A and B are shown apart, each in its own frame.
Chain A
Amino acid sequence: MKEILIILMSVILVDNFVLSKFLGICPFLGVSKKLNSAVGMSFAVTFVMIMATAVTYPIYRHLLKPFKLEYLQTIVFILVIAALVQLVEISLKKYVPILHRSLGIYLPLITTNCAVLGAVLLNIKEEYTYIQSIFNAMGAGIGFLLAMVLFSGIRQRIEHNPIPIAFKGVPSILMAASIVALSFMGFGGIIENIFN
């Protein structure tokens, strides 16, 4: 239980996927314009991360590792995740049309998103157990949600303020993103102090 709590805390705050590992920057900058779409996108990412971990972990353990084919993990995982997301999209459309209408547009976007692939690969690298991997993926998704929600608020503030023309648009957003990432460095060392 304690390990799971440590994993969740560290992946949400200290090793936030977007703000300290710099994964998933594309949706972070692209979809954070409005709070609604930011939240929708984050839930879709969380969902896909958990599903992808649940599927790729056994493939790695029982197919790639016994034959010493670890170097194949990236391409196999991309293949599996892409197929999985397609399958999920088709079944959502059929059985849960309401959920499909709110998540549907984001699902194809994250088919091979680097944050999803990163979550899966890091689970393998950190040598987590199956349960720990699932929680790590969930934490990564929640961390993504946190970063997206925070940043969409900041972006709305930026848009309503007078900014020098040279900094308008992408430059000001990138600068704001780096400041948010810096502020998250303040969480460094928090885990050791809480749990030990």
Chain B
Amino acid sequence: MIVEYILPISIVVVIGIVAGIMLTIASKVMAVEVNEAVHTVHQLLPGVNCGACGFSGCEEYARNIVDDKTVKTNLCTPGGSEVARKISEVLGIQFEAAVGKRAIVKCSGTPDKTNFVMEYEGLQSCSANKLFYRGRGACHNACLGYGDCVTVCEFDAIHMVDEIAHIDKNKCVGCGMCVTKCPNHIIKIIPDTQRYYVKCSSTDPGGYTRKVCSAGCIACKKCEKVCEHDAIHVKNNYARFDLDKCVNCGKCFEVCPVKVIQYIPE
């Protein structure tokens, strides 16, 4: 009787009670203190985990703001000034307005201006196409046009227009997810205050670029010569702005023979 009934029941009950007590003690002894402020800040952030702030995600950024007072509250580009102000209020830190950022596509190679070297029928993705003889374009630094950036964008800000990526500046928050996704690295982030940019990233020599694309930068250096502020330089066969020096005077824009320097209206 005792061995048949009481013993099994008591063994299971005892194991259950022991496990219960151990877990209770463990959860008390090894309790991890969750900082309330981290949770509040995390709630304020947009929660898209884009990494534009330089941390691995919204939670990580929230933890760093709370723990380290030198970390600025305006690093969140999707949230912008609004979020920065709220976080500063919660933590009682001096508020600084966020500088808006936006993404730009540095390629103007629509099908009427450049040509393709293949008829690609494989997996419809830029990174897959890139593996295949460096992409379908005659220019190796062109927009591949399969929209990897469109898929990665959390804000519906990128669309394919004329087979190249087009960024809707009203929707773009400058998080930079497309920048890391693009296999040709032709998307860049610039501050909202910058009015001009070079819409080409061709590192091929000017002559070759001219042959394969009527819109590409031919590295003629006219912009470099006309610039009074030493803010634009031709390096690796295409013109690049020095964003710290550029004053948005627009002289390079006027002088460019292939009209590859673009003006962004306010």
Pick from B22-30, B105-113, B134-142 the stretch touching chain A. Answer: B22-30
| A76:B11 contact, CB within 8 angstroms | yes
Nearest CB of chain A from residue B38's CB, rounded to whole Å:
13
Q: Give every chain B residue within 8 A of A79 (Cβ-Cβ).
A: 12, 15-16, 19
Nearest CB of chain B from residue A86's CB, rounded to whole Å:
6
| B23:A83 contact, CB within 8 angstroms | yes
Q: Give every chain B residue within 8 A of A72 (Cβ-Cβ).
A: 8, 11-12
**A-B contact count, CB below 8 Å?**
46
Does A125 sit within 8 A of B, measured CB to CB? no
Does A94 sit within 8 A of B, measured CB to CB? yes
Q: Give every chain A residue within 8 A of B16 (Cβ-Cβ).
A: 79
Does A36 sit within 8 A of B, measured CB to CB? no
- Residue on B with the closest CB to A82? B19
Nearest CB of chain A from residue B2's CB, rounded to whole Å:
11
Contact string, A91-108, partner B, CB cutoff 8 A, digits 1/0?
Answer: 101110100000000000
Q: Give every chain B residue within 8 A of A95 (Cβ-Cβ).
A: 30
Q: Which of B25-56 contact A (CB under 8 A)?
A: 26-27, 30-32
Q: Which one of A75, A82, A97 contacts B12 once the chains associate, using CB atoms below 8 Å?
A: A75
Nearest CB of chain A from residue B52's CB, rounded to whole Å:
21
Report the interface size for chain A: residues with CB under 8 A from the other chain. Answer: 22
A contact patch SS:
helix
| A87:B3 contact, CB within 8 angstroms | no
Q: Which one of A63, A68, A90, A94 contacts B23 once the chains associate, using CB atoms below 8 Å?
A: A90
Does A160 sit within 8 A of B, measured CB to CB? yes
Contact string, B128-153, partner A, CB cutoff 8 A, digits 1/0?
Answer: 00000000000000000000000000
Q: Give every chain B residue within 8 A of A67 (Cβ-Cβ).
A: 3, 7, 11
- A160 and B15 CA atoms in complex are apart in Å by 50
Q: Give every chain A residue within 8 A of B264 (Cβ-Cβ).
A: none
Does B1 sit within 8 A of A, measured CB to CB? no
- A63 and B20 CA atoms in complex are apart in Å by 19
Nearest CB of chain A from residue B160's CB, rounded to whole Å:
20
| A94:B8 contact, CB within 8 angstroms | no
| A83:B19 contact, CB within 8 angstroms | yes
Nearest CB of chain B from residue A107's CB, rounded to whole Å:
14
Does A170 sit within 8 A of B, measured CB to CB? no
| A76:B26 contact, CB within 8 angstroms | no
Does B123 sit within 8 A of A, measured CB to CB? yes
- Residue on B with the closest CB to A72? B8
- Residue on B with the closest CB to A160? B123
Q: A63-B11, A69-B8 are in contact. Are A91 and B19 (CB under 8 A)?
A: no
| A94:B12 contact, CB within 8 angstroms | no
Q: Give every chain A residue within 8 A of B123 (Cβ-Cβ).
A: 160
| B27:A76 contact, CB within 8 angstroms | no
| A87:B23 contact, CB within 8 angstroms | yes
Q: A67-B7, A72-B8, A160-B123 are in contact. Are A90 and B27 (CB under 8 A)?
A: yes
| A94:B32 contact, CB within 8 angstroms | yes
Q: Which of B176-233 contact A (CB under 8 A)?
A: none
- Residue on A with the closest CB to B124? A160
Q: A67-B7, A69-B8 are in contact. Are A76 and B32 (CB under 8 A)?
A: no
Q: Give every chain B residue within 8 A of A83 (Cβ-Cβ).
A: 19-20, 22-23
- Residue on A with the closest CB to B9? A72
Q: Give every chain B residue within 8 A of A69 (Cβ-Cβ).
A: 7-8, 11
Q: Give every chain A residue within 8 A of B23 (Cβ-Cβ).
A: 83, 86-87, 90
Most buried by B among A64, A87, A97: A87
Nearest CB of chain A from residue B63's CB, rounded to whole Å:
11
Does A80 sit within 8 A of B, measured CB to CB? yes
- A72 and B4 CA atoms in complex are apart in Å by 12
B residues neighboring A (CB under 8 Å): 3, 7-8, 11-12, 15-16, 19-20, 22-23, 26-27, 30-32, 123
For the complex of A and B, 4 pairs with smallest distance between CB atoms: A83-B19, A94-B30, A90-B26, A90-B30
12 pairs of residues in contact across A and B, judged by CB atoms under 8 Å: A67-B3, A67-B11, A68-B3, A79-B15, A79-B16, A80-B19, A83-B22, A86-B23, A87-B22, A87-B26, A91-B26, A94-B32
Given contacts A64-B11, A79-B16, A83-B19, 17 further A-B contacts (CB under 8 A): A67-B7, A67-B11, A68-B3, A75-B12, A76-B15, A79-B15, A79-B19, A80-B15, A82-B19, A86-B23, A90-B27, A91-B26, A91-B30, A93-B30, A93-B32, A95-B30, A160-B123
